[in-house]
Amino acid sequence: MPDFQTWISAHQLRFEEILKQLLPSAEIAPQRLHAAMRYSVLDGGKRVRPLLAFAAGELADADVARVNHAAAAVELIHAYSLVHDDMPCMDDDVLRRGKATCHVEFDEATALLVGDALQSLAFQLLSETCLSDEATKQLQMVKLLATASGSRGMAGGQAIDLASVGKQLTLPELEQMHIHKTGALIRAAILLGAHCGNLSQEQLDKLDRYGKCIGLAFQVVDDVLDNEADTATLGKTAGKDAHNDKPTYVTLLGVSDAKKMAQELHQEALRAVLGFGDKARRLNELANFIVMRKF
Amino acid sequence: MPDFQTWISAHQLRFEEILKQLLPSAEIAPQRLHAAMRYSVLDGGKRVRPLLAFAAGELADADVARVNHAAAAVELIHAYSLVHDDMPCMDDDVLRRGKATCHVEFDEATALLVGDALQSLAFQLLSETCLSDEATKQLQMVKLLATASGSRGMAGGQAIDLASVGKQLTLPELEQMHIHKTGALIRAAILLGAHCGNLSQEQLDKLDRYGKCIGLAFQVVDDVLDNEADTATLGKTAGKDAHNDKPTYVTLLGVSDAKKMAQELHQEALRAVLGFGDKARRLNELANFIVMRKF
């Protein structure tokens, strides 16, 4: 079995090719929109959500060709949310993954349409090829991604985020925001990967517990890194949230307690998948990676 | 059988209640986002796409409870596109369906999220309840709406529209734009309504031919009305496209030939569904309604 770094690199490389194939060619009309979609998705990001989908897929003995589509669907939703989030009416950011943001490289109207079209493409990917032995289960996958993306999931989390600027949130309120804003899609990535295989409801519940902890840990670590790193290392504007007067785990708990919280969530995530034994190896390694990462 | 006006009014009233139930309550967090979603969808519009879905559903002997969800999914995609289209970086419009546009009534960031969340909700509606006797057919419905909405459908049409400002388009180029921008979703509405029942591929192809003609006729009539009507009658800013130096059927063909084109498309649509006999009555009436409408 390859070591973790080899596993990650192989999947990242492979998945980049998958994304290149699944995104419409920039040669096809409307060319500029397709070029902007490819610009916004390709060549960037750690692909944390797809890696989680692949790890869950391996645990569930799923066909990797199926997981590719599920992972790509989740990543397109993530990518669209970044494009819209960077727009002037939201975070007004110019730098993302070390590159100019979509509305800077192209224009605002194109960025708006890029996000819209990426979301549609995500649902196309979940419906155009067979991803599960049972079509009813595949419909559940569509529903899962739709709810994770919508007003009670990611988009709702961003709305709570908007409303929180300049406000003193409590820890439960901050948690509520992140459970929606980043947590929902991370949980969806894991469950969608798992749904490509065959697991019992009890097993899926364990994975969901893992996903909930890792999703929150991811955000806590993000806040710590955002507080400590500089813009060059991060590949996006550092210290932005605190600067924008947005509540973060660091501003609320302090660096030390925020780090402690990440450690506790990390341990809880590992406990959730303990029963899978060595099958959960990649999920364990990804949990370590998410909590220990430096960028 | 009720006359056409009674049929329309009954469906419009009934569908408004359906939308009220399917949209998240403004009492549920995030309240402001949910309020803005309801504001943008409810109490407005002729509901042309849902009416087409209901007419196709009746032709296909489909369960109306199923068609409700399919029609709502299409209408939510349409509503999201209007919210995004009205934003300052697109058409920058302040009036829609006789009300302030979403970003004026709320704010730009909220309008962006409203559109995003409405799109997710559309796919949730297509996947969370049984809409077809066969789950594989329901997955085809998801794919159908996703492709009609995405970069090779509606969003792509808007990108072509953006690129056409200030340009002299040929008639085929203008048609290509509208086939995507408005045509794709109108065709999807008809096919989704039909898919809730049971039709042969040959019958679906006939409906699609009808949909293609009616979608284009709808746009030609829109251009004629936009040229002739005033803002109060139209409930949206009149003369906008011509004023924005966007090509229209009127600027390209003149009013008289544009009207003639609408009539020809109207006749072709009626011919496409002739074989269905009286079963196509509502589709015939809707074709008349779309071409003869005054607003």
Mutate one of A127, A162, A169, A177 to test the B interface: name it (highest B CB count within 10 A). Answer: A127
Backbone dihedral region for residue A200 (phi beyond 0: left; psi -120 to 50: alpha; all else: beta): beta
Q: How many CB pairs under 8 A join A and B?
A: 167
- pLDDT for A240 equals 64
Spell out the domain ranges in chain A.
4-289
pLDDT beyond 90 at A295 = no
pLDDT beyond 70 at A92 = yes
pLDDT beyond 80 at A236 = no
Does B142 contact A160 at a Cβ distance shorter than 8 Å? Answer: no
Q: How far is the C-alpha of A84 from the C-alpha of A271, rounded, in Å? A: 36
Looking only at the bridges linking them, the beta strands covering A95-96 and A99-100 are antiparallel
Class of domain A4-289: mainly alpha
- pLDDT for B227 equals 86
Backbone dihedral region for residue B239 (phi beyond 0: left; psi -120 to 50: alpha; all else: beta): left
Of B32, B89, B138, the CB nearest to A108: B89
Run of H or E including A100: strand A99-100
pLDDT per residue over B180-231, tens digit each? Answer: 999 999 999 999 999 999 999 999 999 999 999 999 999 999 999 988 876 5
pLDDT per residue over B231-288, tens digit each? Answer: 556 566 666 666 667 789 999 999 999 999 999 999 999 999 999 999 999 999 999 9
Q: How far is CA A177 from CA A149, A151, A180, B31, B119, in A?
A: 14, 12, 6, 13, 21
- pLDDT for B215 equals 95
Q: Quickly state the pLDDT bin for A168 (edges 50, 70, 90).
A: confident
pLDDT per residue over B20-43, tens digit each? Answer: 999 999 999 999 999 999 999 998
For all residues of chain B together, what is the average pLDDT? 93
As to burial, measured by CB atoms within 10 angstroms (0-12 exposed, 13-18 middle, 19+ buried), residue B63 is middle
**Which residues in chain B touch residue A145, judged by CB atoms under 8 angstroms apart?**
123
Q: Which residues of B119-155 are buried (b: 16+ CB within 10 A; e: fewer)?
A: bbbbbbbbbeeebbeebeebbbbbbbbbbbbbbbbbb
pLDDT beyond 70 at B137 = yes
pLDDT per residue over B105-120, tens digit each? Answer: 999 999 999 999 999 9
Average pLDDT over residues A82-101: 95
In CATH terms, the fold of domain B4-292 is: Farnesyl Diphosphate Synthase (1.10.600)
pLDDT per residue over A93-149, tens digit each? Answer: 999 988 999 999 999 999 999 999 999 999 999 999 999 999 999 999 999 999 999
Average pLDDT over residues B159-171: 88
- pLDDT for A237 equals 64
- pLDDT for A158 equals 95
Q: Quickly state the pLDDT bin for A231 (edges 50, 70, 90).
A: low
Does A115 contact B116 at a Cβ distance shorter than 8 Å? Answer: yes
Beta bridge partners of B96: B99
- pLDDT for B238 equals 60
Which residue from A minimizes the CA distance to B24?
A151
- pLDDT for B228 equals 82
Nearest CA to A264 out of A238, A291, A284, A245 is that of A291
What's the predicted TM-score (pTM) here? 0.95
- pLDDT for A84 equals 98
pLDDT beyond 60 at B59 = yes
Mutate one of B101, B114, B124 to test the A interface: name it (highest A CB count within 10 A). Answer: B124
Mutate one of B31, B77, B84, B89 to test the A interface: name it (highest A CB count within 10 A). Answer: B89
CA distance A18 to chain B (A): 18
For residue B222, give the amino acid letter.
Answer: D
- pLDDT for B22 equals 98
Q: How far is the C-alpha of A99 from the C-alpha of A91, rounded, in Å? A: 16
Nearest CA to A48 out of A146, A190, A192 is that of A190
Average pLDDT over residues A257-270: 96
Looking only at the bridges linking them, the beta strands covering A99-100 and B99-100 are unpaired
Which residue from A minimizes the CA distance to B154?
A117
Does A108 contact B128 at a Cβ distance shorter than 8 Å? Answer: no
pLDDT beyond 70 at A162 = yes
Does B30 contact A163 at a Cβ distance shorter than 8 Å? Answer: yes
- pLDDT for B231 equals 56
Run of H or E including A212: helix A201-228
**Which residues in chain A touch residue B69, judged by CB atoms under 8 angstroms apart?**
none
pLDDT beyond 70 at B84 = yes
Average pLDDT over residues B135-154: 98
CA distance A61 to chain B (A): 23
pLDDT beyond 80 at A65 = yes
Nearest CA to A223 out of A239, A211, A244 is that of A239
pLDDT per residue over A34-63, tens digit each? Answer: 999 999 999 878 999 999 999 999 999 999
Does A135 contact B140 at a Cβ distance shorter than 8 Å? Answer: no
CA distance B145 to chain A (A): 8
Mutate one of A123, A140, A178 to test the B interface: name it (highest B CB count within 10 A). Answer: A123
